[in-house]
Amino acid sequence: MPKILILGGTTEASALAEALALRGDDAVLSYAGRVANPKAQPVPTRVGGFGGAAGLATYLRAAGITHLVDATHPFAAQMSRNAVEAAADTGIPLIALTRPAWTAEPDDDWRHVADIEGAVATLAGARRSVMLALGRMHVAAFAAQPQHRYLLRFVDAPEAPPELPDHYLVIDRGPFDVMGDVALMRDHAIDVVVCKNAGGTGAQAKLIAARQLGIPVVMIDRPSLPLRAEVHAVPDVLRWIGHAADLGV
Ligand code: 3Y8
Ligand code: NAP
């Protein structure tokens, strides 16, 4: 009987948890503990780091996990690296459930940068109205460009105000919708959006809104990840679990 650990925190992880719960599979979904109230799941959850790759390997053995699914966000690179290492160390099969990167459509005006620092550098110059749709963890880097007016969107209210002299903070969690993001960008007269190439649908509304409003986007490309088996759809994970179980791995 398979016992699956889902490394979660994304729309796809929640969809997989739902499918496994419907099948009556024995699964656990893991959160890092980044937000105060992570979304409830139809399977048992655990919250908090494992203590590096070694800690994850220890957890996998102790919990009798037979299949590891990395359904974390494409920018959760450290977790993904640890999953590859722990799977190799324990011999437990690993698959990644990810979403394809977004690609620009003809009406899009995107400027690709390699990382957060690259995004900060593109904001050099005259004052603008910037929608920083990156969440909370990377805001401090933009203090290097204090001249702008920033629109921020966090999941939780921060303990201390963000270190940007001119900012407006929205507390909201996705998935977001296009009408809401169009209204938000209009209300704040946004003239550039900065975001990560998260892929998927939960954060895509702002790209469609930017396209409709003719607003340029600074698109942060994904960090490179180690090679691992990777699928983009829940049924492919279910087949993988069944197949691996049939093979007795
Ligand atoms: C804790 C767990 C689901 C999952 C929903 C997806 C979609 C909505 C859109 C914008 C972009 C951003 C941010 C975002 C989205 C989904 C998904 C996604 C982006 C929750 C969640 C956890 C987190 C962590 C949080 C980060 C932050 C990033 C906000 C749950 C709601 C910006 C990523 O305050 C903090 O420390 C928040 C940290 C990592 C990035 C950052 O640097 O701040 N996500 N987001 C997970 C854990 O503890 O393990 O409650 O659902 C999940 C979701 N957020 O099942 O419906 O699938 O991506 N999350 C980005 O894409 O750039 C918002 O504002 O337009
Ligand atoms: P990260 O930088 O790759 O990971 C840093 C450390 O956080 C990991 O080494 C691990 O600690 C712990 N961790 C990360 N994800 C975990 C999980 N699902 N379960 C248990 N521990 C986890 O990760 P991150 O970018 O901070 O992302 C944290 C969570 O937010 C993930 O669930 C991710 O899917 C979700 N998320 C992130 C983003 C984003 O933009 N980064 C967007 C949406 C959702 P130990 O080494 O101690 O095990």
Q: Which helix (H) or strand (E) holds 184?
A: helix 178-187
Classify the phi-psi angles of 140: left when phi > 0, otherwise alpha if psi is within -120 to 50, otherwise beta: alpha
pLDDT computed for residue 115 by the predictor: 97
At 111-136, the pLDDT tens digits run 999 999 999 999 999 999 999 999 99
- In 3D, which of 41, 97, 39, 30 has the Cα closest to residue 241? 97
Ligand 2 atom 3: residue of nearest CA: 76
Give the whole-angstrom CA distance, residue 85 versus residue 163: 36
Pocket test for ligand 1, best of 34, 98, 193, 221 (most atoms within 8 A of CB): 34
pTM metric for this prediction:
0.96
Give the whole-angstrom CA distance, residue 116 versus residue 84: 24
Ligand 2 binding residues, C-beta < 6 A: 7-10, 30-32, 34, 49-52, 55-56, 72-73, 75-79, 82, 135, 196
Q: Which helix (H) or strand (E) holds 178?
A: helix 178-187
Contact 8, 72 (CB under 8 A): yes
User: Which atom belonging to ligand 1 lies closest to the Cα atom of 14?
Assistant: 55
Between the CA of 159 and the centroid of ligand 2 the distance, in Å, is 20
Q: 160: buried, middle or exposed (CB in 10 Å: 19+, 13-18, 0-12)?
A: exposed
Contacts (Cβ under 8 Å, ≥6 apart) of 197: 74, 101, 102, 219, 220, 221, 222
Pocket test for ligand 2, best of 79, 84, 196 (most atoms within 8 A of CB): 79
Q: 71: buried, middle or exposed (CB in 10 Å: 19+, 13-18, 0-12)?
A: buried
Spans of the chain below 50 pLDDT: none
pLDDT computed for residue 244 by the predictor: 59
